Structure 1
Amino acid sequence: MVVEEWNEDITLTYDTQTSQALPLFEINSDTSRKPQVSYHFNEKVSNYHYGVRHPMKPFRLMLTDHLVTSYGMNDKMDIYRPRPATETEIGAFHDDEYINFLKSVTPHNYKQFAASFAKFNIGDDCPIFDGLFDYSLIYAGASLDASRKLINGQSDIAINWSGGLHHAKKFEASGFCYVNDIVLAILNLLRYYPRVLYIDIDIHHGDGVQEAFYATDRVFTLSFHKYNGEYFPGTGNFDEIGVDRGKNFSLNVPLRDGIDDDSYIRLFKCVIESTLTCYRPEAIVLQCGADSLGGDRLGCFNLNIRAHGECVSIVKSYGLPLICVGGGGYTPRNVSRLWCYETSVCLDLTLDTKLPTSIPFLKFFGPDYSLHPNLGGKLDNKNTKKYLESIKIQVMERLRFLNGAPSVQLSEIPPDLSGFTLDGDEEMEDYRQDRFMDKKDDTMSGQDESRQGEMVD
């Protein structure tokens, strides 16, 4: 008699329905407590359109959500469909006149508001489109909802990929951004947390958030970005350190074209570790702009999805309450891959590298249909070892001025962030005037066309 050996690969099979129901991820075996993760997404945010030639494509958020649900990650976190923000809520930061303008202007009546376009920085990069105000309220509402879940202890990590619009200012739109959801979320966090750390890994400088908290020590702003004095928004050099009580609580890491995975991760890890040691925040907001990926339509770095996600993993490892928001990213198929992957990082899951075939719009991800396409090596890395070492030295020197984390009295929750001293008020006005003159000079020299030049067919 011949006894056949048990061969599971041959004898054990699943029917089609069971195979389709199998999870496309593995739960990492770490025995430590898993963070409670919440996912904040209002599907209506994907329905808006900046214009045919505009690089900002809100449908990238729909692609991201399709990937997240197709991998089955929605079963591993709390899902919220947040309400839009109210006018009162966005008025916590933005000027009433600017809010009324956004609420009133439409593509049908824009001519009667044309005289205000320059005042509110409306133009090619910040166009007027149908539903502009509703769109802004929706993504801002999601970030506010994320902050509330952290404050009341419902979430350890709260995700809003529709947020992260970090360029918007108190009085004006900027860089595709109309309402600064990050500032609104941080203001809410300050009602409960004494110190908040803001980290920005978008390829563009997080100027709107930096400016909002430039004169307070309650928020430490840290931005990694390309800087050469001309690349939008033209700010983010080492000398931008804050004013008044906020002096030395703004830190910028200016980078050059083509930085690769290893260089970025080493630098990021070093800077983050030193910053957390010195500042000791009690909550973190991480802006995960995807335009720092290699091959982005408007970007010039060589980062792959795993390296970008490693930054999220590093920040998450400190175990502090964390909000992750989106931001830039102008190659939608890679944006959605990235934010799907970073959702798995927050959940401690390992995803199948082959994308689920059940994804709607699967054709967007061809021809490889992989979660991790090779995005690096397309540009020369102009960040030499000598240059990166000089950045580390300057960062450490800047952090040395902190002299420990600032203390906060309970009566200062939330603070009056506009209550500067006279000297601080003058410094802040000088800072704004410098930015205004830089913008004016850029217009005269044609440098502002660097952003307008991004409008392509």
Structure 2
Amino acid sequence: MRSKDKISYFYDGDVGSVYFGPNHPMKPHRLCMTHHLVLAYGLHSKMEVYRPHKAYPVELAQFHSADYVEFLNRITPDTQNLFPNNLGEDCPVFDNLFEFCQIYAGGTIGKISLVNMLVHVEVSNSLANKDLVADAARRLNNKLCDIAINWAGGLHHAKKCAASGFCYINDLVLGILELLKYHPRVLYIDIDVHHGDGVEEAFYFTDRVMTVSFHKYGDKFFPGTGDMKDTGERDGRFYSINVPLKDGIDDGSFTRLFKTIISKVVETYLPGAIVLQCGADSLAGDRLGCFNLSIDGAILLVTGGGGYTKENVARCWALETGVLLDTELPNEIPDNDYIKYFAPDYSLKLPGGHIVPPDFYIPDFDEDEQNPDERVNQHTQDKHIQRDDEYYEGDHDNDNHTDDA
């Protein structure tokens, strides 16, 4: 990475409190675990930490249809029978669904106002008193940071008028649209095990966005798209690159492939901004060498994505935060509110293994023993506890969120 990169990090504790339903692989609780590892390693002291704004419906409608946004805004578990509902089993209706979408999308696209500046961040009086951009894409556009991190984002399957693959709002497309206001070319890189179909589809006919997706490919593997022959159409012809991978590719092979392709893409395409979707369901162990690229002159937006083994997602994104900060993290995980999840060895790095996991991770233990109604009620109460202090070092970010595990 470049020296002295200024990094902004976005997190809202509410995003980890939503519950997709019994036995659903998606556990937003992983975001709380990731954040507490970031705090435990002291990485927050090396970044500017922000709580993202909640994206307005009009912002979401910059890509999604207004009718679809209104549908998400109005539907609830109690009213879903009143609406034509084509969300499907993988995209259930749950409490606070729209707020969840607003938070993770807001962290990626931005809002024209300075939001809560948190502990360990020094702000001059002149900066604090100005109306400035605070969220990822807009903060990058206004040159307030070089790298922006939003681990809650990266939901790359959502389409213009439909939810897909656990994704309701495509924050990546919205973030890229924001970046295109200031940059003639944006490079999108996706290392999730699943093809980044929603982002590719949105920019399939333009040369202003180049999409590169590394993924497992097959008719029986979701979403079933991402053939090497799919390269874009019309003005976008040859601006979509798909790299289908086989089960069992190891770290070294992936890193060599990634570096070879991306270095040539960056050299040829010369993007003004790079969006990197870091789905944690694609790789095993320490595979962070892929970040060691020369991206001088380009800003970088980093998001999360897939990942259904919560403790490994937290390990992965904490490690990647450290890489972005050029900080080597000790392998022994420091004490934190979720330390028990990393037993028995409490190690940050895991031994290498098969990179591509099953399409759905089903836990070996019952994650849903507790009464869902009681859990939701507790989450509602948690939202009103220490809202201004949730990022402080040593703070207990909704201890009762361990109910999700």
CA deviations over 1:343-402 (Å, ceiling 9, x no partner): 011111111110002x1021100111011021415889xxxxxxxxxxxxxxxxxxxxxx
Task: Report deviation, 1:68.
Answer: 0.2
Match of 1:117 among 85, 93, 116: 85
- The residue matched to 1:350 in structure 2 has which SS? coil
Counterpart position of 1:330: 308
Determine if the alignment matches structure 1 residue 313 to structure 2 residue 314. no
Give the residue type in structure 1 aligned to 2:41.
Answer: Y
The residue correspondences of 1:350-369 to structure 2 (distance < 5 A) are 350-357=328-335, 359-369=336-346
Report the alpha carbon displacement of residue 329 of structure 1 after superposing the two structures with TM. 0.3
Answer yes or no: is the 8 Å Cα contact 2:282–2:356 preserved in 1: no
Q: Distance between the aligned counterparts of 2:68 and 2:361, measured in 1?
A: 26
1:90-109 alpha-carbon deviations (Å, 9 max, x no partner): 00000011111111111011
Q: Residue 241 of structure 1: CA displacement?
A: 1.1
Q: Which structure is higher in helix share? A: 1
Between the aligned partners of 1:377 and 1:36, the Cα distance in structure 2 is: 35
2:41 maps to which residue?
A: 71
Partner of 2:132: none
Match of 1:130 in 2: 95
Output the amino acid matched with 1:211.
Answer: E
How far residue 33 of structure 1 moved from its aligned partner, in angstroms, is 3.0
Identity %: 51
Q: Is the 8 A contact 2:184 2:272 kept in 1?
A: yes
Change in 2 beyond 3 A, CA 1:291/1:378? closer
**What SS class does the counterpart of residue 285 from structure 1 fall into?**
strand
Tell me which of 147, 150, 153 is aligned to 1:157.
Answer: 147
Tell me, what secondary structure is at the counterpart of 1:223?
A: strand
SS of 1:45 mapped into structure 2: helix
1:246 pairs, out of 236, 244, 263, with 236
CA distance in 1, matches of 2:154, 2:292: 18
What is the match of residue 10 of structure 2? 40
CA-to-partner distance for each residue in 1:230-287, whole Å, 9 max, x for gaps?
Answer: 2100000012111111111100000111110111001000000111122111110000
- SS of the residue aligned with 2:241? strand
Amino acid at match of 1:312: F
Q: Which residue of 1 aligns with 2:122?
A: none
Larger Rg: 1
Amino acid at match of 1:360: D
Q: Which moved more, 1:269-278 or 1:182-191?
A: 269-278
Q: 1:455 to 1:94 in 2, by over 3 A?
A: farther
1:62 corresponds to which residue? 32
Superposed, 1:427-438 pairs within 5 Å as none
Residues 3-39 of structure 1: CA deviation (Å, up to 9, x unaligned): xxxxxxxxxxxxxxxxxxxxxxxxxxx9x63100110
Give the corresponding residue for 1:192. Answer: 182
C-alpha deviation, 1:188, in angstroms: 0.3
CA contact (8 A) 2:249 2:354 kept: no
Q: TM-score, normalised by structure 1?
A: 0.72
Gaps of 5+ in 2: 110-134, 367-405
- Secondary structure of 1:198's counterpart equals strand
- Asked if 1:347 corresponds to 2:325, the answer is yes
Count of paired positions: 339
- Which position in structure 2 is the counterpart of 1:226? 216
Matched, 1:177 2:167: yes
Q: Per-residue deviation at 1:454?
A: 5.9
> TM-score if structure 2 supplies the norm length?
0.81
Letter matched to residue 129 of structure 1: F
Q: 202-211 or 270-279: which moved more?
A: 270-279
CA drift of 1:320 comes to 1.8
Report the secondary structure of 2:5's partner residue. Answer: coil
Unaligned stretches of 5+ residues in structure 1: 1-29, 294-302, 381-449
Change (3 A) 1:157 1:91: same
Mapped to 2, the partners of 1:325 and 1:180 lie a distance apart of: 12
Q: Give the drift of 1:117.
A: 2.0
Hey, what's the Cα distance between the residues in 1 that align with 2:338 and 2:258? 34
Q: Shift in Å at residue 455 of structure 1?
A: 6.4
User: What is the Cα deviation at residue 110 of structure 1?
Assistant: 1.1
Supply the distance in 2 between the matched residues of 1:288 and 1:259 (Cα, whole angstroms).
Answer: 17
Separation of aligned partners in 1, 2:200 and 2:82? 33
Instruction: Determine the C-alpha separation between the residues in 2 that align with 1:377 and 1:52.
Output: 27
1:318, distance to aligned residue in structure 2 (A): 4.2
In structure 2, the partner of 1:276 is 266
> Do the aligned partners of 1:228 and 1:256 also contact (CA within 8 Å) in 2?
no
**Aligned partners of 1:85 and 1:312: how far apart in 2?**
29
Q: Pairwise CA RMSD of aligned residues?
A: 1.8
